[in-house]
Amino acid sequence: MAEPSLLPSLAAAGLVPGAGLLADLIPATFAPTTRLDVVFASPPSGEAAAVDLGATLFRSRQCARPPRVSFAPEGGDPGPATYLLVMADPDAPTPDDPKFAFWRHYVVRGLRAAAAAAVDDDDDDETQVLTEYLGPGPKEDSKPHCYLSLLYREPPGGLRGLARADVGGDAFVERRSFAPAAFAARHGLVLVAANWMRCAADRWTE
């Protein structure tokens, strides 16, 4: 089941699908067909911190490790579909000057419905990390950034031929100015779900 509050929460935050800069992130035709759950396990306690439609998390103490993701089958039918996850920041380097949007933090292919697990980069035939996880990095003097986790249905047969180089490099500056919508169109991906959070520096206050 899709999350009915997703699109209103995005609109309330000014993250309007298909509008302005966001046209390169979320297409205007986006209609979620499942719910995406994203949970960070925070060291050292292991306490879970869930991403929940704009809730604020903190950079190092909650988001340092890759999240666990899970989602229900679309329409209740497990089927053979595989999915690709992108985590991107539209507020890089700051919300007031997002000249490096969209910053690519994490890309994983070959995910399957109802599999709640962290992803191991073992380059197997199923799940594969295409961009190593880079935790959120808002500066101490910056407003919190928005971070969107986007789930795409892969084309039939999956994307086993997709290489890291097809997504982009893992080096810090190579991650900026990524265009998820164009990437999705190029590889036959269909956006089916999203979730988002705000993330602040550990000592940030209003």
Give CA–CA dist 172/73, Å, rounded. 34
Number of domains in the chain: 1
Question: For position 125, what pLDDT does the model report?
Answer: 52
Domain contains 146: yes
Domain contains 15: no
Regions of the chain short of the pLDDT cut 50: 116-118, 120-124
The DSSP bridge partners found for residue 85 are: 108, 151
Question: For position 142, what pLDDT does the model report?
Answer: 80
Question: For position 61, what pLDDT does the model report?
Answer: 79
**Range of 48's domain?**
32-200
Residue 97 sits in a domain whose CATH number is: 3.90.280.10
Q: What is the pTM of this model?
A: 0.89
Domain contains 93: yes
- Altogether, the residues listed in the chain come to a count of 206
Domain contains 155: yes
Give CA–CA dist 33/49, Å, rounded. 24
Question: For position 36, what pLDDT does the model report?
Answer: 94
Q: What is the pLDDT of residues 60-104, one digit of tens each?
A: 778 888 999 999 888 755 567 999 999 999 999 988 888 999 999
Question: For position 111, what pLDDT does the model report?
Answer: 94
Residue from 198, 190, 195, 197 nearest 36 by CA: 195
